[in-house]
Structure 1
Amino acid sequence: MRTYLLNAVWLLLLLSLACKEAPNETRSTATLPVYKDVPYFQDYSIKYMSNNEDLELYSAYMDRNKLIQIASSKGVLRTHDGQFLYPGILMQDKTYRPLTDKNITAMTLYEDQFIYLDDKAVLSNAWAGTLYLKHDLPKASLFSAGRDFSFLISDGSALQYVSKNNKGWKGEVANDLVISIEFDNKKSIYYILGKKSVTAFDPNKQSQTKIVEGENFTSLAIMNANLIIGTLDGYLEVASATGKKISETHKDLPWTEITCIENIDGNLWFGSTKGAFMLKEDGKYNYYYGKRWLPGNMVRHISKANDGSILILTDDGLGQIVFEEMTLFDKAQYFEKQVRHRHIRLGFNSTLVDLDNGNIDSGRLSDSDNDGLWTTMYLAGQAFRYSVTKSEEALQNCMEAMDAMERLFDINPVPGFPSRSYERSGYIERLGDPERWQHTDDPEWDWKSTTSSDEAIGHIFAYGVMAELMDNELKDRAIVLIDTLMSHIVKNDLYLVDFDGKPTTWGRWNPEYVNERPKMVGDRKINASNIVAMLQTAYHFTGKEKYKEKAFDLMENHGYLDNLMWPMKDVAMAPDDADDWSKMLSESWNHSDDEMYFLGYWGLYRYAFNDTLKTKFKESIIDHWEIERPEKEGAWNIMTALTGTQEFDLEEAAWYLREHPMDLVTWDIMNSHRKDITFIEPNFREQTLTEVLPPDERRVQRHNGNMFRLDKVGNDGGEEYSAGDIWLLPYWMGRYLGIISEPMVE
């Protein structure tokens, strides 16, 4: 096969020069909106595991020296090791031996220095160790720092105020148990939270005033002279001066069982029994749930670190949420490394599987039914990257991916038939779907059969991009592969015919199959749209009339133009009298079809035979995009821009790229319990909410997934996806189309 490919290059070049191509859709950035790639804050998590079931964690702080310490039931702990994707641990802090001998029950910060509470005193190692204020509460476990080295202490029932200039006021809260103390620096007032009350203590007058009474109080913060009181069922706001409720209890939260609240730079952060969340200016929340962000979901304490990160202490360890300033280009550079370091198998863009609880060094690269598809999406992204940057690295990435893609054709005995995948021999029984694997003539290798239309459209999309954009041998190799695959399909009456001489289950574009489906069944529209796009691409780059003739035959004599122009709003379930196959195909919206449509739109629009068809195809693409808009899918919004339309939701595309998590491990995700989202009735599209959640609050998924799927449970931390198709394709496509700028530093 390889010899044929090389010899065919020169013939195809002569054919392409001899034929008159359709007008080429060149890049035009003059009239399209452009996202300016200025720095934004990207969040990610560094986790520290406790690995001790008997350990209770109380609070965590970072001092001015960037040291993190944790108060626990076994004394003071510190963080060890730990970086993004490589969790550290919590271990006993032995750096100052006299401190390890003390019964430390709590800690806090004062002037960014660690302050400790033990059974005898408030003390610190800062200020040359001169801070040592004795108290008379041997079971003290709560305290808060005020002004001028003063502190209010409690053991849950009794209170004591100590300072350098005070012998020590004592008191208690009547008919309540103290669970927290907060100091209002503006008013110089301590607020004492009980399970059913909040009391103010004035250290100057040494007097108490009950502010508000209630029930099931759990936590307290101060915000704009108001008290924010967490409960077991939401939170309420109370005017600190009058004790009057400002509003009804807020329950429209990701979760209402509040465990802690913190005012950090004017933003309210909440800990709960199901993760942590921050209230944004627009009234929505950033939600941090699951091992993507936190070691555990029971949040014990939240504090701002001295480096701008947020420390979220859970029952299973500490999650440090880091906010790093970067551009989309910076993020792309990280993802480029992620792909090359961990996701290249024999040149394919692959998934890392069998991870041990998210340990990315413990996994193995897996074959996939869609090795060809995921690789073509990565390959196209790298071709866009090369076109924009002329990066030698991008060119080499394309070379290696093309080697893998060509071998999909070479390794099996069927002319022009692309394998799904291939692997070294001896693993068939250990691989998924062993019945699909076939032996080759070479005893060292096996190949995977039953290739589907998903792979076919991915092949033609990527090769079309390369044939158009590349200015080297890859252009010629891409044209050969376009002709090789499409010759097979046309020769076999618009079927992918496998080694057994039979069409594969999904590689079917023949009118007898396509038009057997009722018009509302999506397979009729998708197959018509894809095959026309594929034939147009083949004609555009080879000039062979058989492709043009077949496409017009399908459109004029078999209704394929009508099929592909069928309105997306009318795609629906098959009627009761339809055949069983059509009913199966239309049980719900097929998001893999969305992926196939949009990959096909590159060839459908860009290589349209004439302007009349191009206008119709643009109408069809925008009609589809209108249906997809609620998903805010970055790749589909960016792909729609190729039509030149002014409206393609550029900001939502940039939102997708910014909000996408950098951690692509398949952690368990839960959102169905949330009370801050609005559910809608079950529907054909399987849209669950009025508004899609940000990508970093959803499961990691490819473009063929339902963006409205709320939960992912099972195989927690078992895989890491590649960014090659998920993120790099839409980013570099946006750069090529000119709708995402080069990085801009303000």
Structure 2
Amino acid sequence: MPSGRLHWYFSRLAGQISNPGSDIGRLPFANITTLSVSHSTSSDSRVWLGALRGAMRFDSNATDIDAWRVFNSARYMPTRQSIVNVSSLAVLSRTRDAPSDLGSAAVVVTNRGLAIIRFEMWTLAQKADYFQKFFDPPSRFVKYGLVCGCLMSSWGDIRTCVKKPCDSDGLWTTIYLGSQVFRYAVTHDVEAKKEAWTYFETLELLNKVTGISGYPGRSVANRSDFPPKPRWYPSPVYSDLQFYGDTSSDEIVGHQFVHPLVHDLLAENDDERQRAYILILNITTHILTHDWYLIGENHNHTRWGIWNPLQINNDSYYQETRGLNSLQIFAFLLQTYAYSGDERFLNAVNLLIQSYQYDINLINQKMIAVCDNSFSDDELAYLSYFNLVYAFHTITSSTRLSKEQRHRAQDLIDHLLPYMQIGLDLSHKYKILEKTPFYNFIYCYASEQVNVTREATLKKGFRASFDCDSLSKDGVWFLRRWTLDPIEWQQFNSDRLDIQLNVPASKCQNEIQSLQLLPPDERSIARWNSGMYDVDDGSGWEALDPSSFLVSYWGMRYFNLLGA
């Protein structure tokens, strides 16, 4: 390599520290120890740098968000610490006769060992197939048909990862089931139907094991698995089972999100559709007949199973979730009405509007205070937006409901839509910054910009604030940068020079957060309910099931936001 070219690279890269406004971005780490470039005969503008805190790659031909790539945690480097001290780098570029899917590789020598970073060219479909295999039995992310992450007994060794009961086993299972329903609707693969139905039967069990109609357990286990412990109760129905109680609104949202999809897209006969319908009906009936509460095993309402207007509207403790819970209950009631035609549910919607102003609550669904940015609530909100709009379309296209019923329901839909749409757009002013495929595909659906809703507009006059062509590109970028490694490796991004820390949010959340979004493969892997701006999270002791990727990929496929 000519020395002049080497000096030119150093000049441009070093300039980032003194000139952060440069068009090639900012250098992630200082204390550079080595530099390497490709020796390929083909054109390659990428430069690799080693530093005390890891390796970096700069590509002058990439977009701003992809120009710098950082490899600085145990996901890439042989260390548990932030200091790794790269002493040398070698870039191994593909030859002209190499397979087309083989990319370049870098060999990184550090004071803690050797790291090899290899790139391959994959389609998103290949990536989805790769993640789907994580659920092949015996899956470390599945036990008793319930999906969740797993815990490792040996640091960083996924072979030792074992699934334990999770607080939200039911919710994570509904997310995975949703991905499989979309997958089946796209591919019509018999194996996809079989896979999905297995997990639906697990959700049926959660609804039966408590012995309380419309009250599903959070999780289930054999009584012999562990001795009695808090919030676990022996099943009054199955003598060999126990269930995890105090079920939250999170679980209910998941059930009510996925069962309509099972009913319409997965079930193939009246018996299968009836099984999905019964679960929808029982849950909503339970809430409606128990004074807008979820009443559990102790004959009291659960901690978070609350939709009662007197508490939601009048108790300041619930002011942050007032809009969220209003959105949820409207979705439950209208979805159940769409399938049952039972006027109790439509009358209940009208009551919540006329007497308790739940329609107005929808406007401020997302609270925007710095210290109250709840990513968990965001996930529940977008699942509920999906469910509510899905209910709207089920009603307007229903052949079960009479003309008079559809007309009466349409009046309420026309009334609710403007409030819902304002709240949705206000929410997405924040979610758009995260570029997530999950939130973006649901926004596209709820704002009537995708295939099934373009042909059946609910109400003319609404203009979405965000264009789905742009949102889809962001979603593709996020899926492309999603790491293949499911381990939640500890990250050390607060040391980086190219991010600004969000000091107020960091103090409120008791976790260091950034103002800029880092790519998903430079953060610890997380679900959609986790903080997107956390910079130093992860531990190396847990692994996460890939259902968050799969529901986003197949959701985008189903709504034609990815193409083939």
TM-score band, normalised by shorter chain: 0.7 to 0.9
Residue deviations 1:548-600, cap 9 Å, x none? 111221122111001112264x6448xxxxxxxxxxxxx52211110100000
The answer for the alignment partner of 2:555 in structure 1 is 733
CA contact (8 A) 1:235 1:258 kept: no
Residue deviations 1:657-687, cap 9 Å, x none? 1111111101111111110123344249969
CA contact (8 A) 1:223 1:263 kept: no
Q: Give the 3 Å change call, closer, same or farther, for CA 674–225 of structure 1 in structure 2.
A: closer
How is 1:570-589 mapped onto 2 (pairs within 5 angstroms)? 571-572=368-369, 588-589=372-373
CA contact (8 A) 2:185 2:265 kept: yes
How is 1:108-507 mapped onto 2 (pairs within 5 angstroms)? 184=2, 223=5, 226=8, 228=10, 235=14, 252-264=26-38, 265-281=44-60, 282=63, 284-296=67-79, 297-307=84-94, 308-340=104-136, 341-429=139-227, 434-441=229-236, 442-473=238-269, 474-507=272-305
Q: Secondary structure at the match of 1:728?
A: helix
CA contact (8 A) 1:605 1:618 kept: no
Q: Secondary structure at the match of 2:220?
A: strand
Q: Give the 3 Å change call, closer, same or farther, for CA 720–511 of structure 1 in structure 2.
A: same
Question: Which residue of 431, 436, 448 maps to 1:644?
Answer: 448
**C-alpha displacement of 1:468:** 2.4
TM-score by length of 2: 0.82
Question: Which residue of 346, 350, 374 maps to 1:590?
Answer: 374
The answer for the alignment partner of 1:632 in structure 2 is 435
Q: Secondary structure at the match of 1:226?
A: helix
The residue type paired with residue 440 of structure 2 is N
CA contact (8 A) 1:660 1:696 kept: yes
The answer for the alignment partner of 2:399 in structure 1 is none
- What is the CA–CA distance in structure 1 between the aligned matches of 2:274 and 2:52, rounded to whole Å? 59
Q: Secondary structure at the match of 1:468?
A: helix
CA contact (8 A) 1:369 1:421 kept: yes
- What is the CA–CA distance in structure 2 between the aligned matches of 1:497 and 1:681, rounded to whole Å? 41
Q: Give the 3 Å change call, closer, same or farther, for CA 544–675 of structure 1 in structure 2.
A: same
Q: Secondary structure at the match of 2:211?
A: coil
The residue type paired with residue 707 of structure 1 is M
**C-alpha displacement of 1:363:** 1.6
CA contact (8 A) 1:521 1:572 kept: no
Q: Give the 3 Å change call, closer, same or farther, for CA 551–428 of structure 1 in structure 2.
A: farther
CA contact (8 A) 1:288 1:697 kept: yes
The answer for the alignment partner of 1:542 in structure 2 is 340
Residue deviations 1:289-340, cap 9 Å, x none? 1111121333222111254211122223222222111111111000100133
Question: What is the CA RMSD across the aligned residues, in angstroms?
Answer: 2.6
CA contact (8 A) 1:271 1:277 kept: yes
Residue deviations 1:623-660, cap 9 Å, x none? 21122211222200111010224614221111111111
Q: Give the 3 Å change call, closer, same or farther, for CA 719–355 of structure 1 in structure 2.
A: farther
CA contact (8 A) 1:339 1:349 kept: no
Question: Which residue of 372, 391, 401 maps to 1:607?
Answer: 391
The residue type paired with residue 294 of structure 1 is M
The answer for the alignment partner of 1:682 in structure 2 is 504
CA contact (8 A) 1:461 1:603 kept: yes
Q: Secondary structure at the match of 2:498?
A: coil
Q: Which moved more, 1:477-486 or 1:677-686?
A: 677-686
The answer for the alignment partner of 2:480 in structure 1 is 658
Q: Secondary structure at the match of 1:627?
A: helix
CA contact (8 A) 1:457 1:599 kept: yes
Q: Give the 3 Å change call, closer, same or farther, for CA 235–355 of structure 1 in structure 2.
A: farther
**C-alpha displacement of 1:342:** 3.0
Q: Does 1:694 align with 2:498?
A: no
**C-alpha displacement of 1:226:** 2.6
The residue type paired with residue 503 of structure 1 is H
Q: Secondary structure at the match of 1:741?
A: coil
CA contact (8 A) 2:293 2:307 kept: yes
The answer for the alignment partner of 1:623 in structure 2 is 426
CA contact (8 A) 1:509 1:528 kept: yes
CA contact (8 A) 1:439 1:446 kept: yes
Residue deviations 1:513-552, cap 9 Å, x none? 1012459932111111111111111111222221111122
The answer for the alignment partner of 1:169 in structure 2 is none
CA contact (8 A) 1:518 1:524 kept: no
- What is the CA–CA distance in structure 1 between the aligned matches of 2:204 and 2:432, rounded to whole Å? 36
**C-alpha displacement of 1:227:** 5.9
CA contact (8 A) 2:322 2:365 kept: no
Q: Secondary structure at the match of 1:667?
A: coil
Q: How many residues align?
A: 491
Q: Secondary structure at the match of 1:700?
A: coil
Q: Which moved more, 1:488-497 or 1:616-625?
A: 616-625
The residue type paired with residue 295 of structure 1 is P
Query: Taking every aligned residue pair, what percent have the same amino acid on both sides?
Result: 27
**C-alpha displacement of 1:352:** 1.8
- What is the CA–CA distance in structure 2 between the aligned matches of 1:324 and 1:419, rounded to whole Å? 43
TM-score by length of 1: 0.62
- What is the CA–CA distance in structure 2 between the aligned matches of 1:683 and 1:368, rounded to whole Å? 27
- What is the CA–CA distance in structure 1 between the aligned matches of 2:11 and 2:429, rounded to whole Å? 43
- What is the CA–CA distance in structure 2 between the aligned matches of 1:266 and 1:547, rounded to whole Å? 62
- What is the CA–CA distance in structure 2 between the aligned matches of 1:664 and 1:304, rounded to whole Å? 26
Question: Which residue of 517, 531, 545 maps to 2:329?
Answer: 531
Q: Give the 3 Å change call, closer, same or farther, for CA 559–545 of structure 1 in structure 2.
A: same
- What is the CA–CA distance in structure 2 between the aligned matches of 1:517 and 1:279, rounded to whole Å? 53
Q: Secondary structure at the match of 1:740?
A: coil
Q: Give the 3 Å change call, closer, same or farther, for CA 300–427 of structure 1 in structure 2.
A: same
Q: Give the 3 Å change call, closer, same or farther, for CA 251–235 of structure 1 in structure 2.
A: farther
The residue type paired with residue 641 of structure 1 is C
The residue type paired with residue 31 of structure 2 is E
Q: Secondary structure at the match of 1:629?
A: helix
- What is the CA–CA distance in structure 1 between the aligned matches of 2:363 and 2:7, rounded to whole Å? 60
- What is the CA–CA distance in structure 2 between the aligned matches of 1:277 and 1:516, rounded to whole Å? 53
The residue type paired with residue 472 of structure 1 is E
- What is the CA–CA distance in structure 2 between the aligned matches of 1:709 and 1:444, rounded to whole Å? 42
- What is the CA–CA distance in structure 1 between the aligned matches of 2:389 and 2:207, rounded to whole Å? 27
Q: Which has the higher helix share?
A: 2
CA contact (8 A) 2:312 2:319 kept: no
Residue deviations 1:129-162, cap 9 Å, x none? xxxxxxxxxxxxxxxxxxxxxxxxxxxxxxxxxx
Q: Which has the higher strand share?
A: 1
**C-alpha displacement of 1:486:** 1.1
CA contact (8 A) 1:449 1:498 kept: yes
- What is the CA–CA distance in structure 2 between the aligned matches of 1:276 and 1:225, rounded to whole Å? 19
Q: Which moved more, 1:404-413 or 1:258-267?
A: 258-267
The answer for the alignment partner of 2:362 in structure 1 is 564
Q: Does 1:673 align with 2:447?
A: no
- What is the CA–CA distance in structure 1 between the aligned matches of 2:201 and 2:7, rounded to whole Å? 66
- What is the CA–CA distance in structure 1 between the aligned matches of 2:484 and 2:340, rounded to whole Å? 40
The residue type paired with residue 480 of structure 2 is R
Gaps of 5+ in 2: 39-43, 95-103, 393-408, 450-465
